């Protein structure tokens, strides 16, 4: 079956099998920031934006992308690099494996929430699994990023 959608602002189409998951389709299309971590929707590594909302691509059949706008980290290069500098500045970048999904959620949160509390930030990011740290550095980086960018 053919699926047509927008990928990082450009028209995209692909012939897929009915059981194809969005994660696999995106990786086949060269979006290597979308990572396979658990295949059980528990880690957030495969997070992409679907019509502006964070979605776990490992749990979304590729056929559901029909007519939708899909954005991966490759489509948010400038914003991702900007926030990535804050992670580094705060000493919060660890091994980097969880970073793409984490950054996708931070960017989505910045667009959706104005002046969130620490509890709201933690709730928004609850689906991201980092095996390296306790998130203290990442929370500092998010707060400083939001202050500088006017979100908090």
Specify the range with the lowest mean pLDDT, choosing from 1-10, 21-30, 83-92: 83-92
pTM (two decimals): 0.89
66 three-class SS: coil
The domains located in the chain, with CATH, are: 2-72 (3.10.20.30), 75-149 (1.10.150.120)
> For 111-136, what is each residue's pLDDT tens digit?
998 888 889 988 888 888 877 766 77
* Tokens at 58, concatenated: 């490992």
Task: Tell me how far apart the alpha carbons of residues 142 and 152 are, in angstroms, rounded to a whole number.
Answer: 10
Please answer whether residues 76 and 107 qualify as being in contact, where contact means their C-beta atoms are separated by less than 8 angstroms: yes
> For 38-81, what is each residue's pLDDT tens digit?
878 888 999 999 999 999 999 999 999 999 999 999 999 999 99
Task: Tell me how far apart the alpha carbons of residues 89 and 82 are, in angstroms, rounded to a whole number.
Answer: 11
Task: Tell me how far apart the alpha carbons of residues 41 and 21 are, in angstroms, rounded to a whole number.
Answer: 13
According to DSSP, residue 43 is labeled: S
State what percent of residues in the chain have pLDDT above 90.
53
């Amino acid at each position: 079956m053919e699926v047509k959608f927008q990928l990082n602002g450009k028209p995209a189409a692909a012939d897929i099998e009915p059981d194809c998951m969005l994660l696999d389709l995106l990786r086949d299309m060269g979006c290597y920031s979308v990572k396979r971590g658990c295949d059980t929707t528990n880690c957030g590594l495969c997070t992409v934006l679907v019509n502006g909302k964070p979605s776990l691509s490992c749990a979304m059949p590729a056929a559901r992308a029909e007519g939708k706008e899909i954005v991966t980290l490759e489509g948010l290069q400038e914003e991702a690099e900007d926030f990535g500098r804050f992670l580094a500045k705060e000493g919060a970048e660890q091994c980097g494996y969880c970073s793409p999904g984490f950054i996708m959620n931070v960017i989505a949160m910045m667009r959706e929430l104005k002046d969130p509390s620490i509890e709201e930030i933690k709730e928004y990011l609850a689906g991201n699994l980092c095996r390296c740290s306790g998130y203290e550095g990442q929370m500092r980086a998010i707060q400083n990023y939001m202050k500088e960018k006017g979100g908090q």
